[in-house]
């Protein structure tokens, strides 16, 4: 199971929100590269980098941060936030992203995302399934749709999508535990999908539960920044 720390960026700084609420943000470090290097020093290989300014404005904003981390570390970066066009995709890949996450655009323009899948293959395009009460949320989590998460993922899987990051918005940033039951349901609906858990991870013991489910990976954010899970502890889970 891949251990994937998260760095969320607002105005070039490393922050965390609660339940996606931009008015409740905490700045943890003004130098995201410094944070990324700390991850790498502890054997971490992967990074989930989110451009929260991009998610809110609908276009990539913090591409310079992506470029800086990609050039100065060996971390394999999954980049998301504000990717809405082919130009956004080009900017992300040219600046070092190994994968991009298609979130809101996967709801609003499925044809475009399927075109990206055909052009770049399913190792580079990740489906972002942000969930509230088992319904897909979009627009930086400001809008909840009537789209069922299980059908959403299953439909994309049938079209060739391989990886899915599923974030339970209610859990995200709250340090109250991750959505084990939701992930069990998704795996039951789409057993072959490579599912990455995101949101609410609060203790090292949850990693064991997720590993039992044979998750592809787990994204950990606030638990690291609040020292609920230490980087030293995570070293035991890194290949």
Number of Cβ within a 10 Å radius of residue 93 = 16
**CA-CA distance, 32 to 12, in Å (whole number)?**
8
Active site residues: 8, 130
Domain count, the chain: 1
Containing structural domain, residue 47 = 2-237
Cα dist. 156→113, 120, 150, 159, 164 in Å?
A: 10, 15, 10, 5, 9
Residue by residue, pLDDT tens for the chain (239 residues) are 999 999 999 999 999 887 667 777 889 999 999 999 999 999 999 999 999 999 888 889 999 999 999 999 999 999 998 899 999 999 999 999 999 999 889 999 999 999 999 999 899 999 999 999 999 988 666 678 899 999 999 999 999 999 999 998 877 666 778 999 999 999 999 999 999 999 889 999 999 999 999 999 999 999 999 999 999 999 989 87
CB distance 206 to 14 below 8 Å: no
Q: What is the pLDDT of residue 32?
A: 97
**Per-residue confidence (pLDDT) for residue 193, from 0 to 100:** 97
What pLDDT, on the 0 to 100 scale, is given for residue 58?
85
Report the CATH number that the domain containing residue 22 is assigned in CATH.
3.20.20.70
Q: Which tokens sit at 200?
A: 């609410």
Listed residue (238, 214, 232) closest to 76, CA to CA? 238
Q: What is the pLDDT of residue 173?
A: 65
């Amino acid at each position: 199971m891949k251990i994937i720390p998260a760095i969320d960026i607002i105005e070039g700084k490393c922050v965390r929100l609660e339940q996606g609420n931009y008015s409740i943000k905490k700045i943890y470090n003004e130098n995201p590269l410094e944070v990324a290097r700390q991850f790498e020093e502890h054997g971490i290989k992967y990074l989930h980098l989110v451009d929260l300014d991009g998610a809110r404005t609908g276009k990539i904003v913090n591409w310079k941060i992506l470029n800086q981390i990609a050039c100065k570390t060996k971390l394999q970066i999954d980049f998301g936030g504000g990717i809405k066009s082919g130009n956004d995709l080009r900017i992300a890949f040219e600046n070092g992203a190994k994968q991009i996450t298609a979130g809101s655009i996967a709801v609003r323009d499925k044809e475009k995302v399927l075109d990206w899948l055909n052009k770049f293959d399913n190792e580079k395009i990740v489906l972002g399934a942000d969930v509230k009460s088992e319904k897909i949320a979009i627009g930086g989590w400001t809008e909840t749709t009537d789209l069922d998460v299980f059908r959403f993922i299953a439909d994309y899987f049938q079209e060739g999508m391989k990886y899915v990051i599923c974030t339970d918005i209610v859990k995200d940033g709250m340090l109250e535990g991750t959505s084990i039951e939701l992930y069990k349901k998704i795996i039951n609906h789409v057993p072959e999908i490579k599912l990455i858990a995101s949101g609410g991870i609060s203790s090292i013991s949850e990693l064991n539960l997720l590993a039992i489910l044979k998750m592809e990976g787990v994204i950990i954010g606030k638990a690291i920044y609040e020292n609920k899970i230490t980087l030293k502890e995570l070293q035991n889970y890194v290949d």
